[in-house]
Amino acid sequence: MADKEMIYSEKIYIGNDPDNQKVYLEIRIDKKTGDILTTDLTLIKSALTLSICGEAWLKSGRDCDYCGQIHEYIKKDLPRYKKVINRKAVKELLAIWDEWHLNDLKAGTRYQDLAIKTRFASWAAARDWPTKYDYSNVCEFLKAIGIHKHSKNGLNYVYGHAWLTEPLPANIAARVETLVNEIKKAS
């Protein structure tokens, strides 16, 4: 069983959306320790993890209009934001959010995920993709290509049967902190 210790936490204002609602990001980096199985099917003793959530507050400031995993909304609307605190830093932070959020809750190994991403890309190119992720369909696809069960380093893993961790690189954690500081300094 792994434990988590918070090592970094910030809430930052990034700007006002097209409806002039204030948008904030909550960013947290934890150090996870214990027996951790990675997406490369190796056992490690510690890893950094990242969590980012967004909040868009009603003009009254009394409640959120939308919140949680809203990076797609922010990314889509950012060109129309009425006010943005350091647009370049916000865009980079959104890219990191997209790639690294909840990096300790991966359903597949790196090899399985690559196959899934490749398959979804081919479905998208053929305009024949599912409208949403479906665990059963993904499992059937992985079974069909022979990697639903993946073995490496003497470890066996069945897709979706545990949470795997893709350790957050220290340079990405440091970059998150730098971007947050740049945004805070500009506000």
Residues 133, 63 within the same domain: no
Whether 38 and 92 share a structural domain? yes
- CA dist 38 and 111 (Å) reads 12
Neighbour-count burial for 129-166, b at 16+ CB within 10 Å, e otherwise? eeeeeeeeebeebbeeeebbebeeeeeebebbeeebbb
Domain, as residue range, for 126: 108-162
Residues 134 and 186 grouped into a single domain: no
- Residue 88 is predicted with a pLDDT of 93
Same domain, 12 and 91: yes
Contact 36/165 with Cβ under 8 angstroms?
yes
**Are 7 and 27 part of one and the same domain?**
yes
75 and 64, same structural domain? yes
Using CA atoms, how far apart are residues 85 and 15, in angstroms rounded to an integer? 5
With beta carbons less than 8 A apart as the criterion, state whether 46 and 31 touch: yes
Question: Are 51 and 31 found together in one domain?
Answer: yes
Q: Which residues contact 148 (CB under 8 A, 6 or more apart)?
A: 139, 142, 158, 159
Tokens of residue 18, six digits: 């097209």
Which residues does the chain have with pLDDT short of 50? Answer: none
Q: Are residues 9 and 52 in the same domain?
A: yes
How far from 5 is each of 21, 53, 155, 173, CA to CA, in Å? 33, 18, 27, 15
Do 147 and 187 lie in a common domain?
Answer: no
Q: From CA 31, how far away is CA 103, in angstroms rounded?
A: 12
Give Cβ neighbours of residue 183 (< 8 Å, ≥ 6 apart): 12, 13, 14, 85, 86, 89, 90, 93
How many domains does one find in the chain? Answer: 2
**pTM check: above 0.85:** yes
Do 47 and 113 fall into the same domain?
Answer: no
Q: Are residues 88 and 9 in the same domain?
A: yes
Same domain for 74 and 157: no
